[in-house]
Amino acid sequence: MAYFDYTSAKPVDERVLEAMLPYMTESFGNPSSVHSYGFKAREAVQEAREKVAKLVNGGGGTVVFTSGATEANNLAIIGYAMRNARKGKHILVSAVEHMSVINPAKFLQKQGFEVEYIPVGKYGEVDVSFIDQKLRDDTILVSVQHANNEIGTIQPVEEISEVLAGKAALHIDATASVGQIEVDVEKIGADMLTISSNDIYGPKGVGALWIRKEAKLQPVILGGGQENGLRSGSENVPSIVGFGKAAEITAMEWREEAERLRRLRDRIIDNVLKIEESYLNGHPEKRLPNNVNVRFSYIEGESIVLSLDMAGIQASTGSACSSKTLQPSHVLMACGLKHEEAHGTLLLTLGRYNTDEDVDRLLEVLPGVIERLRSMSPLYRR
């Protein structure tokens, strides 16, 4: 098997699993309890919090643990907007954001907020000048990904931060970028930053929102007031411990790993683009080291994915959170592609356990798959 769907799901690193196990069987206390078991759990959660913050140079803020990146994005968008509505109700969101940002923004529109979508160019880069032009006295929030999870394009977040200059809060969804490129909240000027555990080989079902001390939010989940009142519910201690361990490992290893993945990525791109009428989606240079997003004329991405799976190669057509729908990717459409072009897309994402042999297998199988599918397509003419 050759797995090229690391953006959809990653395995838990064995070192992470080892760190988690004691908190499932021995140190199983509730962090809110006043006895020794509770103290040990509370101590473990705080240690993990510090490790996650350190990964993104987040000493100037706090980490709030959530059930994942989706909840963290909801907390950032809805929580910040609701808390700061008296300052204004104008929000800017990039057109290529994950649906866990776009749908909360749509929810806010129904609550009386005005949301404008920042356009992107053909490579998926946001138009910074649009942000500059649209900033108003009542603009309270701008939300832009650090890098796109589908096409891998890295956004000019530092430029955006300079344009904002504190006039509005900047939320950055770093789900796809943490562990792939440098993520430093001070350098990129983030007021809030979303991080996913599984995207750095930690357990699923846990994520975090880093919040600068000056940023004030309203909780979106109410209950016992855990996580400094911003996220109620008993903490998932084993998963949080695993998240912390994954952050610790990532901080030590990401640079070397990114260089290895970049080499594999470039080898795939160079060879796949030799196939007739194949095109690279996303920025050719400013892209994540693990991302290959290509489209092929005359065939559909779903048929490519199924054919590859039959050959023992796992891939995707786009975001795992929305790829079950038959609608073309909103990211590719925002980049100016036609429906039929967007439908012909194959997403290959590399990870920690990919090898040169995996790439060999992919490059051996893929050209034949494309040729066979095109031979059955009524649109294809030699």
Tens digit of each residue's pLDDT (9 = 90 or more) over 84-135 = 999 999 999 999 999 999 999 999 999 999 999 999 999 999 999 999 999 9
Q: Where are the domains of the chain?
A: 14-250, 254-375
- Is the confidence at residue 34, as pLDDT, over 80? yes
Q: By the 8 A CB rule, do 48 and 200 touch?
A: no
**Where residue 66 falls among pLDDT bands split at 50, 70, 90?**
very high
Q: What is the pLDDT of residues 316-331, one digit of tens each?
A: 997 555 555 568 899 9
Is 149 annotated to bind ligand? yes
Helices (H), 61-166: 69-74, 80-83, 99-110, 128-134, 157-164
Task: Give the residue numbers marked as catalytic.
Answer: 321
CATH class of 14-250: alpha beta
CA distance 266 to 269: 5
Is 30 annotated to bind ligand? no
CA distance 133 to 150: 27
Q: What percent of the chain has pLDDT over 90?
A: 92
Average pLDDT over residues 139-158: 98
Determine the distance from the C-alpha atom of residue 1 to the mean position of all C-alpha atoms in its chain, rounded to a whole number: 25
In CATH terms, 254-375 corresponds, of 3.40.50.880, 3.20.20.70, 3.90.1150.10, 3.90.1300.10, to 3.90.1150.10
Average pLDDT over residues 324-350: 90
Average pLDDT over residues 155-172: 97
Distances from the Cα of 359 to the Cαs of 140, 256, 303, 346, in angstroms?
Answer: 46, 19, 20, 15
**pLDDT score at 178:** 99
Is 70 annotated to bind ligand? yes
Alpha-carbon Rg of the chain, whole angstroms? 21
Cβ neighbours around 225 below 10 Å, total: 13
**Where residue 304 falls among pLDDT bands split at 50, 70, 90?**
very high
What's the predicted TM-score (pTM) here? 0.95
**pLDDT score at 320:** 52
The per-residue pLDDT of the chain, averaged, comes to 96
**Where residue 39 falls among pLDDT bands split at 50, 70, 90?**
confident
- At 28, the amino acid letter reads F
**pLDDT score at 377:** 84
Is 234 annotated to bind ligand? yes
Going by DSSP bridges, is the β-strand pair 207-212/61-66 parallel, antiparallel, or unpaired? antiparallel
CA distance 304 to 370: 7
**pLDDT score at 45:** 97
Q: By the 8 A CB rule, do 164 and 154 touch?
A: no
Cβ neighbours around 165 below 10 Å, total: 9
The closest of 244, 114, 90 to 168, measured between CA atoms, is: 90
The partner residues of 62 in beta bridges, in order of sequence, read: 211
Cβ neighbours around 57 below 10 Å, total: 16
* Half-sphere exposure of residue 34: CA atoms within 13 angstroms, side-chain side: 0
Dig out the tokens for 365 from the structure: 């199988």
Average pLDDT over residues 344-367: 98
